[in-house]
Amino acid sequence: MQVQQDGEDFASQPWYHGPLSRQKAEALLQQDGDFLVRASRSQGGHPVISCRWQGSALHFEVLRVALRPRPGRPTALFQLEDERFPSLPSLVRSYVTGQRPLSQATGAVASRPVIRQGPIRRSFSEDTLLGSPARIELPRARKRSDSQPAGLDHMGRSREDHPGPGDSAVPICALPRMGSDPMLLKTPASLGCVIDSLRASDGQLHAKAPTKPPRTPSLLLHDASGRPPTYCELVPRVPSAQGTPPGHGSPETEAPPWWEANKEEEEENRSFARPKAEVSFWPPNNPFCLLGPQNRPLEPKVLSTLRDLFLEHHPGSTALHLLLVDCQATGLLGVTKAQRGAMGVASGLELLTLPHGHRLRLELLERHEALALAGALAVLGCAGPLEERAATLRGLVELALALRPGAAGDLPGLAAVMGALLMPQVSRLERTWRQLRRSHTEAALAFEQELKPLMRALDEGAGPCEPGEVALPHVVPAVRLLEGEELPGPLDESCERLLRTLHRARQMARDAPKFREAAARRLRGFRPNPQLREALTTGFVQRLLWGSRGVGAPQATRLEKFQRVLSVLSQRLEPDV
């Protein structure tokens, strides 16, 4: 679900519920993926993301990093673990639309906001986060201690102990210590007061920006009753700026999306480590916006929605969406530190050449087959006029041109689209192809003279594969070979093709950082449509083609049945004479 963009005032967002207790928040979270943002009463009103995941309610306190005031710059950045954002809505928007885990430890994904019912009352800490004058003047009104002994008698006591005109009802422990305040305390303050005084949301009172985000939001504290901690541990990563000495400032601009992550972080993980387990780059089984919890195969309403969605985007935009999803499915972009540690290498292009890359290779084969079947269905499902099918063919040809080397450079996506166009059930539609040549001559010529020879060369391991011209290389031939599939053709030709394919696989693993840089460069500044991105994921395509029940059947059985369905559709469109 797309989150609205209402600027900096997160109190106007429908997912923000204001001051809300943990118990009431958990009662509103019904299904996995449900989330809301609240002002935690136990944490001094700091924003907390509450999310239900795997049957449990989890709570994540948002870290706020203050910046030195500067015109045209945000006054603070908001952070969970990796990225920093100039506002709380932009943080929520990134994690919801990107379907990214709120923390690597839990893997919880927020996908469905719980809409607030009715207005909310803004609290003290909400004024703090929104930069209102109320937050700035309260510390000034606080009586500072002096060097006289009488002044020391008031230190460490609440306002209730020394009421006076103009005194605030907020206890001293809830107010941050000013830089000039002495640390002399007649009575020791409680641990909760000390931690509240160190919170990152009070960082705007510092003279300059902190060198790194405080770790206090990560503390797990037991209260006096001995109950277990209720906040999930976050491990914020401090972004490093090249050429900036340690301890001299922090980034003051919005962090890039996860597919534009810091290159230095990948270079630090180039050394091989002993693998711990097989890794999957498929997103967790989250509920889909376009599909219900249970769906039948090829639901007409969903197919109509998808058709309209693809018609709204030109081929270049669709190609970038497909490149983004393919890079995530291949493990080229968006690889977490935990995944790198588990697989022992830095990217999926290296993993798929290793013995413990079996699971990744199966996932890539599944994705290739599912996308090819979906593309063929787009043509064979057009039961209307002949021109409509020819226009669909033209759309697929234009998408393939947008994916080719030198354009988006997504060769797995190109292979899937070409697999749909070259599928026997589609290639036998003589009347449809004749109409394409008559009505869309340029597309027909590009398909015959450019795309078909290019795809033949890529399958034989002889096509273009230079990083820069290509963002994501053609991995299907190497994956099939490593999974034990035999190469077609005479023995001498198959041996040469085998050697070329293995050599290409070694090149892909060696040049993985260059491919990653090329993909990130193409996606720089790109903001995907959440629904279109969801429609291109492997899990969604599987559910669309085989339904929520049939998706669990063995792959060979599913593919065989769907091939029969496509054959029936093809015969209905153009029966054999």
Judge contact between 501 and 493, C-beta under 8 A. Answer: no
From the list 135, 136, 130, 124, the residue with the least C-alpha distance to 13 is: 130
7-59 pLDDT, tens per residue?
Answer: 456 777 888 888 888 888 888 998 888 999 988 776 667 789 999 988 888 98
Burial 97-135 (b: 16+ CB within 10 A, else e): bbbbbbbeebebbbbbbbebeeebebbbbbbbbbeeeeb
**What is the reported pLDDT for 271?**
55
Local confidence band at 326 (pLDDT 50, 70, 90 cut-offs): very high
Of 47-56, 85-94, 246-255, the range with the lowest mean pLDDT is 246-255
From the list 189, 236, 188, the residue with the least C-alpha distance to 213 is: 236
If you average pLDDT over each of 58-67, 184-193, 229-238, 294-303, which comes out highest? Answer: 294-303
Confidence check: pLDDT of 379 > 90: yes
**What is the reported pLDDT for 424?**
96
From the list 167, 124, 160, 175, the residue with the least C-alpha distance to 143 is: 167
Local confidence band at 501 (pLDDT 50, 70, 90 cut-offs): very high
Judge contact between 49 and 60, C-beta under 8 A. Answer: yes
Mean pLDDT of 448-459: 95
Confidence check: pLDDT of 140 > 70: no
The DSSP code sequence of 46-89 is -EEEEEEETTEEEEEEPEEEE----TTS-SEEEESSS-EESSHH
**What is the reported pLDDT for 193?**
44
If you average pLDDT over each of 110-119, 169-178, 509-518, which comes out highest? Answer: 509-518
pTM, entire model = 0.59
Round to whole Å and give the CA distance between 368 and 416: 6
Backbone torsions φ then ψ of 66, nearest 5 degrees: -80, 150
For 22-113, CATH number out of 1.25.40.20, 1.10.10.10, 3.40.640.10, 3.30.505.10 equals 3.30.505.10
Residues of the chain with pLDDT > 90: what percent?
42
From the list 483, 508, 507, 519, the residue with the least C-alpha distance to 325 is: 519
For the chain, the distance separating the N- and C-terminal CA atoms, rounded to the nearest angstrom, is: 48
Residue 310: other Cβ atoms inside 10 A: 19
Local confidence band at 532 (pLDDT 50, 70, 90 cut-offs): very high
Backbone torsions φ then ψ of 513, nearest 5 degrees: -60, -35
Confidence check: pLDDT of 408 > 50: yes
**What is the reported pLDDT for 336?**
85
**Structure-token match 């195969």, residue found:** 297
95-136 pLDDT, tens per residue?
Answer: 888 788 888 778 888 888 898 887 775 544 444 444 443 333
Round to whole Å and give the CA distance between 445 and 447: 5
Of 35-39, 258-262, 308-312, 411-415, the range with the lowest mean pLDDT is 258-262
Mean pLDDT of 387-407: 95
Mean pLDDT of 513-521: 94
**What is the reported pLDDT for 125?**
43
Confidence check: pLDDT of 183 > 60: no
545-558 pLDDT, tens per residue?
Answer: 999 999 989 999 99
Structure tokens at 471: 């963002």
**What is the reported pLDDT for 243?**
36
Local confidence band at 85 (pLDDT 50, 70, 90 cut-offs): confident
Q: Which residues pair with 84 in a beta bridge?
A: 79
Mean pLDDT of 376-396: 94
Confidence check: pLDDT of 188 > 70: no
90-99 pLDDT, tens per residue?
Answer: 888 888 887 8
From the list 104, 70, 93, the residue with the least C-alpha distance to 250 is: 70
Name the CATH architecture for the domain at 300-573: Orthogonal Bundle (1.10)
Residue 62, C-beta contacts closer than 8 angstroms, at least 6 positions apart? 37, 46, 47, 48, 49, 78, 79, 80, 88, 91, 217
**What is the reported pLDDT for 132?**
40
Map out the domains of the chain as residue ranges. 22-113, 300-573
Confidence check: pLDDT of 167 > 70: no
Confidence check: pLDDT of 195 > 70: no
